[in-house]
A = this chain, B = another copy of it.
Amino acid sequence: MHRVVIVGGGFGGLYAARSFRKTDLQVTLVDRRNHHLFQPLLYQVATGALSPANIAAPLRSLLRRQKNAQVLLDEVVEILPRQRQVKLRDGVLDYDSLILATGSTHSYFGHPEWEQIAPSLKTLDDATSIRRKVLSAFEEAEKATSVEEIRTWLTFVIVGGGPTGVEMAGAVAELAHSTLQADFRNINPAQARILLVEGADRVLPPFVPKLSAAALTALRRLQVEVLTDSMVTEIEPGKVTIRRNGQTEEIASRTIIWAAGVQASPLGKALATATGVELDRSGRVKVQPDLTVPGHPELFVIGDLACCLDEQGQPLPALAPVAMQQGNYVARLILGRQKGKDLPPFRYKDYGTMATIGAFEAVCDLRGFRFSGLFAWLVWLFVHLMQVVQFENRLLVLMQWAWHYTTRNRSARLITGPLPSPHEDRKDEG
């Protein structure tokens, strides 16, 4: 029996595993976490509109009916391509085909020390801790005694104007200007300053300029200050330094969120050591057109971990649909081989990209059909709702969205996590 080991239960890994259903191959899916996460809605958890469980589903329950699939909650420590084995923290797995789909993590461009001060959004724990940070800032402002202090607590800086940054900035602006409006007595949350800092000359650089302009208009309507052509040069507790038009500017802020850079999961490096495969600048594995590692036809890399070139020789973007299609492709390739058949190289079918900016506003680029505004938002809503994996979650998300978008309430505004000890000075925490 052909043994397929899949590492990573994100879009790529999960779709690969599911593509083996109704076959007699033996599939083992390994993930460090017990759940598949719908990352595109993570910013809604970070701003209290949805609960973690609404956008995550246990991998086991997603694969419970697929009897040839097993889920292991574990972590890969080493890859041994010669022995066709992966070493896990708690054991060893033999494979005939190996699919690596461990995705990406954030990159601080050589400043790992910034992470402590400016967290980024990749996991559910990131989301609840950013939620805690954002909500606590308003609480601290309410208690602050000087105007200066209040202003620092009410300044939110989001670094990176890609889809995550834009969505996060829009959601924080709505939180401050609508949701929390009547909640405080000493401060006016509507006076919060939300800055979005982007290095390129426009937000949403992967989109066409027309849609970037629409996004900018929408952000301005939400009173988000957009700083383009701006590089973050330093992040310290309570302060971020920006370089813009040759000028250096310091912004006092206690809530800085990083949405700027990604790099491939460290498993890429482990694979490079084991097989000699080349990595690109962000650590992604340079795969063959059939997504295999050169010299290892049984070893596949998909999703954000792979650097896969399109027909123009450009690397494919790190998007969920790419990962899903690759997962599906690899499964078909492996199944085809079983029958002695071969597949043409992987080709990405681009159905479009979209991003949302607050309630009732989004930008869509669907195969050259580009539009923004309410209709784009409805398309965004529908597509995202349909992609949430579990039927129950879909209903829960729909209900919470209906409530949220009509009342502007965000019911999951919980500050959780350890309490500060009474004598701890949280002012220095960043």
Residues on A close to B: CB < 8 A?
Answer: 32-35, 51-54, 56-58, 60-61, 64-65, 70-75, 77, 89-91, 124-125, 128, 135-136, 139, 142-143, 145, 180, 182-186, 390, 392-393, 395-396, 399-400, 403, 409, 411-420, 422-423
Contacts and interface: CB of A to CB of B under 8 A. Distances in A.
Contacts of A34: 135, 139, 413-415
Contacts of A184: 60
A419 to B, nearest CB: 5
Given A34-B139, A51-B51, A182-B64, A58 B399 contact: no
Copies of the protein in its oligomer: 2
B53 A412 contact: yes
A185 B73 CA distance: 13
B35 A415 contact: yes
B414 A35 contact: yes
A127 to B, nearest CB: 10
Contact of A61 (B91, B399, B413, B417): B413
A156 B408 CA distance: 42
Given A53-B411, A73-B139, A75-B422, 9 more contacts: A34-B139, A35-B415, A57-B411, A61-B413, A89-B423, A125-B416, A125-B418, A392-B409, A396-B400
Nearest to A125: B416
The 10 closest A-B pairs by CB, nearest first: A53-B412, A51-B51, A60-B183, A73-B139, A34-B415, A70-B185, A64-B182, A51-B53, A58-B413, A90-B143
Contacts of A416: 52, 124-125, 128
Nearest to A180: B60
A393 B411 contact: yes
Contacts of A412: 51-53
Contacts of A73: 136, 139, 142-143, 415
Nearest to A54: B51
A143 B183 contact: no
A414 B33 CA distance: 9
A64 B403 CA distance: 18
B91 A143 contact: yes
A124 B414 contact: yes
Nearest to A419: B32
19 contacts: A33-B415, A33-B419, A34-B135, A34-B139, A34-B415, A51-B53, A53-B412, A60-B183, A61-B409, A73-B143, A77-B422, A89-B423, A91-B143, A91-B145, A125-B416, A125-B418, A392-B400, A392-B403, A396-B396
A32 B416 CA distance: 11
Contacts of A185: 70
Contact of A399 (B180, B399, B409): B399
A173 B183 CA distance: 41
A325 to B, nearest CB: 27
A301 B51 CA distance: 35
Contacts of A60: 180, 183-184
Contacts of A51: 51-54, 412
Contacts of A65: 182
A52 B392 contact: no
Contacts of A142: 72-73
A395 B390 contact: no
Nearest to A395: B399
Nearest to A75: B422
A419 B52 contact: no
